[in-house]
A and B are shown apart, each in its own frame.
Chain A
């Protein structure tokens, strides 16, 4: 789902990767703790706030883990996990199923966004009331030809608007009042508002395509052979995200130093926007980051209908939760 992240920020990524982005947990190197790495599929932003909160507040250390958080950028991070380059990585649920069908032994262990933040932003002046309006009116939609767009194109086969690739940044959106643009509702609309534009957002999830997003994955082999580490990781992330959702300010300050592209007010606004996407009625019954087989099954069926997957494999194999982890 990181497909929205255009390559325009590659330079920033390189800087982050070469320098501050490689900051490690102070416990890395301590023989009494287990050192693992977590590769992010973008730069430090609120969507990863809980991971940094877990590091800064000592939640990883409390579980005996030293987690090296590596901001990276777009691309299929699941390949890094499958090839053993990193222990954990963030990706989206549809990428997990795609990876598994390709033979990559990756398993989801934690889902930050229960409701996908993937959306479409339009100019409020157009008077659209719901996402269907984007696909029933002329104009232009900037988006990448990825899973969710295939879903919407299938749902609206006679859409009259012109479809174009997603250009970097928000300049085209600001310049063209008839242009709609893919976004993460936690990111681009906030930039557009700062630029005095009038963005209105619609979640793709409202149209019926809602993969878990910012999903932490691990190698299946690790889940089977070292469930204790997986358990500790889940508990630490849960604590980290709890802390971040409750009070993101301190962690935002830390991430702000790692990602000077985003200012403090945008960090705060983004953390506020994403809160209801992370903490839902479902997670209040269970816990932050929990997933259900029904959601995975639905996603698998949708990807088969879109001819992205050949078969919908059993959902239970794609993810684990604390109660389903091997007892060992």
Chain B
């Protein structure tokens, strides 16, 4: 038990200390300088709002989480699949890779109405936006890993007569896994951002409304404490998804890759 607490303290102690000290300093700053609440609400007010409106805010968080998870899942699956296809041949890569940049640069605001028409407003359209925003890092990082496989090992597979598919599945993809997880870590945060933005463009209002709708409504109605409470929950969601990817990465990589041993 003592060892567990020590490990836990080492891992989570520093960020927790930064969080507590940072919150206290911000509270003190806002109180002493009398910053208007419409510019910066007191952290204590935000915490009280989180407690008082927990049912409403948690329901909105759950809606956002669902869309973000669907978008992230699509990014992971489609992103890796596209990277595998691009890595299969230099010609395919040269022909198609530039167009994947579309996903990174497309302004969601421009295509939101089309997504709303094709997929109907709500979860599907929001998740599609989250996918579009978050897929590129998965493609780019996975591809970088796939084409950086040690050439000596690739030659070895060829010498032993391994097929291209076998080389891809047994050598290049496993070797690229650290890169895949880098892409997934970036995509986890982007999926949440994409979801929140999409919610106030093509999201549902009412029982299924997500944090993006809460933020816009609260901002318009001057409830800055609620705005920041929702922002905190969106951050927590992103952090949770990031943590989950880290956890999976550690499990997958811990026996053979240096990045998962520290």
Interface of B is mostly: helix
- Give per-residue flags for B206-240: 1 if the beta carbon is below 8 A from chain A beta carbons, else 0: 10010011001101111010000000000000000
B109 pairs with A6, CB closer than 8 A: yes
B220 pairs with A147, CB closer than 8 A: yes
Tell yes or no: B99 within 8 A of A by CB. Answer: no
Interface of A is mostly: mixed
Take A144-B217, A144-B220 as given contacts and tell me if A102 and B36 are in contact as well, using a CB distance cutoff of 8 Å: yes
Residues in A with CB closer than 8 Å to B217 are: 144-146
Take A145-B217, A171-B117 as given contacts and tell me if A308 and B205 are in contact as well, using a CB distance cutoff of 8 Å: no
Tell yes or no: B27 within 8 A of A by CB. Answer: no
Q: Which of A3-43 contact B (CB under 8 A)?
A: 3, 6-8, 10
Residues in B with CB closer than 8 Å to A76 are: 38, 219, 222
Q: Which of A162-212 contact B (CB under 8 A)?
A: 162-165, 167-169, 171-172, 175-176
- Give per-residue flags for B180-207: 1 if the beta carbon is below 8 A from chain A beta carbons, else 0: 0000000000000000000111111110
Tell yes or no: B116 within 8 A of A by CB. Answer: yes
Residues in B with CB closer than 8 Å to A102 are: 36-38, 222, 224
Tell yes or no: A275 within 8 A of B by CB. Answer: no
Residues in B with CB closer than 8 Å to A10 are: 109
Tell yes or no: A98 within 8 A of B by CB. Answer: yes
B64 CB to nearest chain A CB (Å) = 13
A221 CB to nearest chain B CB (Å) = 14
B109 pairs with A164, CB closer than 8 A: no
B218 CB to nearest chain A CB (Å) = 9
A100 to B262, CA, bound (A): 53
A-B contact pairs, 6 of them (CB 8 A): A76-B222, A102-B37, A104-B38, A140-B121, A143-B205, A171-B117
Closest 7 CB pairs of A and B: A145-B217, A164-B121, A98-B222, A163-B205, A171-B113, A102-B38, A146-B220
